[in-house]
Amino acid sequence: MQNTRNHHTMPSENKPRYRLTKLGEQMARLPIDPKISRMLLAAKKHDCVQEMLVIVSALSVQDPRERTAGSARSRRQGARAFYRQAV
């Protein structure tokens, strides 16, 4: 019997283990959120880029109602300074 353990082909160290698909390469070229870039590339495929630009422009704007922890802290500090001056 032959030892089959030594017959595995080792992947070449020069080849990358993972490669981007063509779609992934196109998405990587766009300096925007991957979800947005995917939507735009799909719109290009379906010939509706103008319509999708309206949608993704609305999706890419941060909701003003969402507040980060840092912005809450700075608002509190500003309010303290304001009330100290007013009193």
Rounded CA gap, 22 and 38, in Å?
12
Range of weakest confidence among 21-25, 30-34, 52-56, 75-79: 75-79
Nearest C-alpha neighbor of 23 from the set 53, 56, 49, 45: 45
Distance separating alpha carbons of residues 26 and 58, to the nearest angstrom: 22
- Over residues 58-70, the mean pLDDT reads 79
- Cα 25 from Cα 19, distance rounded (Å): 9
Mean pLDDT of the chain: 81
pTM of the entire predicted model: 0.56
